[in-house]
Amino acid sequence: MIPPEERSRDGANANRDRSPPDERPVRIEVEGLAKTYRQNGNQVDALDEFSLRVREREFFCLLGPSGCGKSTFLRILSGLLEKDGGEIHLEASEDQRPTTSMVFQEKGIFPWKTVLENVAFGLKMRDVPEDRRHEVAKRFIRKVNLDGFEGAYPHQLSGGMKQRVDIARAFANDPEILLMDEPFGDLDAQTKRTLQNELVTLWQERPKTVIYVTHDIEEAIRLGDRLGVMTDRPGSIAELIDIDLDRPRTRENLDLARMEALQHEVWSILEDVTENQEP
């Protein structure tokens, strides 16, 4: 494993590299992906003809009606599910970093492990020595503002704090690609906003390719470089939208008029998508 110090220097370089996203190399290439479930003897097509290209260090938000196969897509990318058809190409680097790491909506961290053990878990699975992995874990616990909670168990934490632990674990793993499955879906609006800001800060500090699944339009626009709207089941990409809002998207800096326009655009696409699918 490359020590994170060295990589953070790379990260800083990468961050200064202001090359527009469409000039960066393609990191994720998905072509004609298909997935079918068996449910009570019926075949359910979760994904069909799903194609997508995501570039290096792009923050890509995937938006769609519930049950459209967003999570299925993440699970196929992560290797938790097998695809039934199509091609996936993930550009992996030569070193020991994992290709993907997932942040779950809820119940992603283990109740029987402390915050420190949870954050260090992925490193433990890759046989990083204990003192080394605890050092890395502690650094990321600080980064998600949980210092002092290293020894706490999840039942002692609030929902927002648990999601911070999950995010810290994913960043401690230092994957090429970060997969996020509605990580803030169960949080109240205020906490959600705080965590979104923290996530973007962390991501800008350590740029990664991110696929962020959500059904919250505002969230997708607030976070993403680009946004993909999915069709109803069987899911595929209905439309891609560039989010041309400058970062940092703070309250003072955010072009609210443009944001509203984007929201309307997404709304109308979503309406088309769901209407087309009505029987």
Partner 1 sequence: MNRLPRRTRWLLLLGPFVAVAIGWEGAAQFGVIDPNFFPPPSTVLVLAADLYLHGDFLTHLLASLRRIVLAGLLGGTAGIALGTVMGRSPTVKAVTDPHLSVLYPLPKIALLPVMFSLFGVTEMARILTMALAVLLLVSINTMGAVEQIEDSYVEAALDNGADRIALYREVILPGTVPQIASGLSLGFGVAVVLLVIIEMVAADAGLGYVIWTSWQQFKIPQLYVALFTVNVLGVIFVHGPEEVGLWLTPWRNG
CA distances for 18 relative to 11, 22, 112, 131, 160, angstroms: 12, 11, 43, 36, 32
Coil, helix or strand for 67?
A: coil
- Residue 94 vs 246, nearer CB to partner 1: 94
Q: Are 198 and 145 in contact (CB under 8 A)?
A: yes
Number of residues that bind partner 1 (CB under 8 A): 27
Given 12, 17, 22, 125, the residue binding partner 1 (CB under 8 A): 125
Helix (H) or strand (E) holding 195: helix 189-205
- CA-CA distance, 16 to 5, in Å (whole number)? 17
Given 24, 53, 97, 113, the residue binding partner 1 (CB under 8 A): 113
- Is residue 111 part of the contact set for partner 1 (CB under 8 A)? yes
By C-alpha distance, which of 195, 131, 132 is closest to 168?
195
- Residue 108 vs 235, nearer CB to partner 1: 108
Q: Considering only residues 51 through 70, tell me which ones interact with partner 1, judged by CB under 8 A.
A: none
User: If you ran DSSP here, which 8-state letter would residue 25 be given?
Assistant: P
User: Whole-number minimum distance, CB 254 to partner 1, in Å?
Assistant: 33
Given 47, 52, 59, 101, the residue binding partner 1 (CB under 8 A): 101
User: Whole-number minimum distance, CB 104 to partner 1, in Å?
Assistant: 6
Q: Are 55 and 219 in contact (CB under 8 A)?
A: no
- Residue 143 vs 169, nearer CB to partner 1: 169
Binding residues (CB under 8 A) for partner 1: these are 75, 78-80, 98, 100-102, 104, 106-114, 121-122, 125-126, 153-155, 169, 173
